[in-house]
């Protein structure tokens, strides 16, 4: 009897915790959607922002976020791929674990430190100021571990027999990588890239004093010009406590940003489940 | 001839990208050390133990360090029971299909940007906290702790769920064979076996919570003082990250103010990376036995 009662109590505690957690998160998503939807309209999504973001839309902010994460992804991908391939194919096995630990450590660096580092390197040392190129480099560095780890896991999961058949055909290492390793880790590469992009899209602290400005910018015409993003837009508008119209626009921008991040994450989950299906086959 | 492949162009390209990746963390560490050295020359250990921070006069980092730890602990106290409870239900009691749905939803939620949480915090949480606890200002340590707790909840849940799933089926079967009921199986067989992985989950989310900047900055106020009494969580304060986020662009990259801020960043770097590092080692070990 007592044992059973204890079991029931344990289960109910866990169930209550689950209920609270799930309803909390539902409330959060519900609030973001309901408040954001009321700001959404065709003009809100297609117009430029006016009057310091208090009126007008968020077209260039959306574009800025997409431009910035795309350029960071393009810069980060080859380096991550090279790192993962070098680590799995060339590096001495006894060093592989140490290399992984270093990469994991990079993943643990608080993002604001990337921002400070970028400010010192691009703002002071190279004197390019607040610019698209600094944001690209900083975000590329930030998402590098995400990409590398994902690609490395994909390479590790390639069945040994594929490598063996390649080697038995007399492939050189380079040919093995080109013909077997990279094609067979393709989905892992894409998943890693998408995870990295989602992470970059949600990042504010790393780029707020290096790449983005709040107003007066549309599309950067060169790498040295500043860019405007949804993240910065929300950050500034959120602090406009007294203006209800600014608040509404902040919610609209927040919904747009959340939808971008969710879209990227859902695509990456979809691809990941396909990898799993292929692995089981 | 055989040396050609060893140092061929392909290898050089791969090797250079590898060394770029590895050296980044070293460069960042070097940057933090060199840029914060002057403040340690100026203040010595007082930089870490001083309680006053007046730009141009004295730089004491203790209030920020203490509040960072306090806020993180609050967030953990709030998120850990909820996250672990959810993980237990998902992993041990839900059918496979629902488990995957819960997990996917949690992974999605983990991606909600910090700045959006900050907006939620400013608009909803500060006013709620202010009303419920009858405060003058809703921007306080408690608000920041609660907000951070909600932010790390999905991470705690998914990583502890992973830890629970790695416990082999045989453990559960043997415990069942001994005549234990479902809850007892979880309590006596599964949880102890997954304890290390769960600890890893906690450390990882602690590290993430410490480094979170925007949302904390928006709801904690900005008072560089140790709360009095020291456990008073209803007062405005300043964490390391909120200090950095607010003042870094004012410091303009030179002088003691900048050195002091980088000194703070160095402290944060060591605390946060230490956590992530230990957590990763534990989790990775658990995963790749």
Instruction: Please say whether the beta carbons of B71 and B145 come within 8 A.
Output: yes
Out of B115, B241, B248, the one facing A235 most closely (by C-beta) is B115
Nearest-CA distance from A233 to chain B in Å? 10
Mean pLDDT, chain A, whole residue set: 84
SS3 B164: helix
Q: Where are the domains of chain B?
A: 64-287
Instruction: Please say whether the beta carbons of A182 and A82 come within 8 A.
Output: no
- Confidence tier at A239 by pLDDT (50, 70, 90): confident
Architecture of domain B64-287: Orthogonal Bundle (1.10)
Q: Which residues on chain B are in Cβ contact (under 8 Å) with A141?
A: 24
What end-to-end distance do the CA atoms of chain B give, in Å? Answer: 41
Instruction: Please say whether the beta carbons of B19 and B256 come within 8 A.
Output: no
CA distance A58 to A211: 18
Instruction: Please say whether the beta carbons of A245 and A179 come within 8 A.
Output: no
The verdict on a CB contact (< 8 Å) between A205 and B119 is no
pTM (predicted TM-score): 0.88
Out of A79, A119, A231, the one facing B20 most closely (by C-beta) is A79
Nearest-CA distance from A277 to chain B in Å? 15
Closest CA to A110 of B273, B219, B220: B273
Q: What is the ipTM metric for this complex?
A: 0.88
Q: Which of B183, B203, B212 to mutate to test the interface with A (most CBs of A within 10 A)?
A: B183
Q: Which residues on chain B are in Cβ contact (under 8 Å) with A10?
A: 183, 186-187
Per-residue pLDDT, averaged over A33-58, amounts to 76
Q: Which of B3, B102, B111, B216 to mutate to test the interface with A (most CBs of A within 10 A)?
A: B111
**Could you tell me the domains of chain A?**
42-280 (1.10.3720.10)
Neighbours of A40 (CB within 10 A): 17
Per-residue pLDDT, averaged over A152-179, amounts to 85
pLDDT of residue B62: 87
Give tens-digit pLDDT for A67-115: 889 999 999 999 999 999 888 888 888 888 888 888 888 888 899 999 8
Out of B18, B85, B111, the one facing A83 most closely (by C-beta) is B18
What end-to-end distance do the CA atoms of chain A give, in Å? Answer: 47
CA distance B275 to B210: 10
The verdict on a CB contact (< 8 Å) between B107 and A113 is no
Nearest-CA distance from A28 to chain B in Å? 8
Structure tokens at B96: 């496979």
Instruction: Please say whether the beta carbons of B136 and B234 come within 8 A.
Output: no
Instruction: Please say whether the beta carbons of A129 and A118 come within 8 A.
Output: no
pLDDT of residue B3: 44
The verdict on a CB contact (< 8 Å) between A120 and B31 is yes
Out of B186, B207, B244, the one facing A108 most closely (by C-beta) is B207
Divide the 289 residues of chain B into consecutive groups of 10 and give the mean pLDDT of each group: 57 86 90 88 80 80 88 92 92 86 86 90 86 81 91 90 88 87 85 87 88 88 77 82 84 80 91 81 58
């044992």: which residue's tokens?
Answer: A3
pLDDT of residue A262: 92
Per-residue pLDDT, averaged over A196-218, amounts to 81
């080859």: which residue's tokens?
Answer: A78
Structure tokens at B46: 């007082």
């Amino acid at each position: 009897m007592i044992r059973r009662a204890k079991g029931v109590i344990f289960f109910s505690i866990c169930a209550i915790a689950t209920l609270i957690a799930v309803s909390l998160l539902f409330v959060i998503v519900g609030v973001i959607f309901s408040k954001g939807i009321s700001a959404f309209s065709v003009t809100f999504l297609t117009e430029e922002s006016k009057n310091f973001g208090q009126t007008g839309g968020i077209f260039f902010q959306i574009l800025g976020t997409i431009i910035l994460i795309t350029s960071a992804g393009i810069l980060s991908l080859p380096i991550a791929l090279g790192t993962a391939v070098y680590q799995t194919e060339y590096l001495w096995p006894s060093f592989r674990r140490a290399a992984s630990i270093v990469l994991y450590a990079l993943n643990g660096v608080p993002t604001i430190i990337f921002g400070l580092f970028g400010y010192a390197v691009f703002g002071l040392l190279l004197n390019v100021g607040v610019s698209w190129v600094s944001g690209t480099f900083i975000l590329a560095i930030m998402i590098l571990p995400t990409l590398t780890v994902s690609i490395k896991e994909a390479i590790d999961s390639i069945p040994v027999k594929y490598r063996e058949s390649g080697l038995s055909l007399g492939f050189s290492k380079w040919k093995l990588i080109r013909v077997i390793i990279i094609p067979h880790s393709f989905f892992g590469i894409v998943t890693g890239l998408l995870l990295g992009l989602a992470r970059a899209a949600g990042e504010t602290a790393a780029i707020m004093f290096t790449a983005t400005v709040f107003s007066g910018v549309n599309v950067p015409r060169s790498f040295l010009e500043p860019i405007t993003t949804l993240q910065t837009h929300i950050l500034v508008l959120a602090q406009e406590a007294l203006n209800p119209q600014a608040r509404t626009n902040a919610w609209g921008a927040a919904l747009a940003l959340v939808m971008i991040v969710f879209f990227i994450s859902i695509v990456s989950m979809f691809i990941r489940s396909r990898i799993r299906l292929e692995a089981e086959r | 001839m055989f040396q050609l492949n060893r140092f061929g162009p392909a290898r050089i390209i791969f090797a250079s990208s590898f060394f770029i990746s590895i050296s980044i963390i070293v460069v960042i560490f070097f940057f933090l050390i060199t840029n914060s050295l002057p403040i340690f020359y100026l203040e010595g250990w007082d930089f870490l133990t001083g309680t006053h921070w007046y730009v141009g006069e004295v730089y004491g980092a203790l209030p920020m360090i203490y509040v960072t730890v306090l806020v993180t602990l609050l967030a953990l106290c709030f998120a850990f029971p909820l996250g672990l409870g959810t993980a237990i239900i998902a992993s041990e009691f839900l059918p496979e299909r629902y488990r995957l749905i819960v997990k996917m939803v949690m992974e999605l939620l983990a991606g909600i940007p910090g700045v959006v949480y900050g907006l939620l915090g400013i608009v909803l949480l500060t006013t709620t906290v202010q009303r419920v606890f009858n405060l003058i200002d809703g921007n306080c340590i408690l608000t920041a702790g609660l907000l951070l707790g909600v932010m790390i909840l999905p991470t705690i849940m998914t990583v502890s769920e992973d830890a629970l799933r790695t416990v082999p089926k045989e453990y559960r079967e043997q415990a069942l064979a001994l005549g234990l009921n479902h809850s007892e199986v979880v309590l006596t067989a599964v949880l102890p076996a997954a304890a290390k992985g769960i600890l890893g989950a906690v450390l990882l989310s602690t590290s993430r919570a410490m480094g979170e900047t925007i949302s904390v900055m928006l709801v904690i106020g900005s008072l560089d003082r140790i709360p009095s009494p020291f456990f008073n969580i209803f007062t405005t304060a300043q964490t390391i990250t909120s200090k950095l986020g607010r003042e870094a662009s004012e410091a303009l990259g030179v002088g003691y103010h900048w050195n002091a801020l980088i000194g703070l960043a160095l402290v944060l770097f060591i605390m946060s990376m230490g956590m992530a590092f230990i957590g990763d080692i534990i989790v990775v070990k658990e995963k790749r036995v």
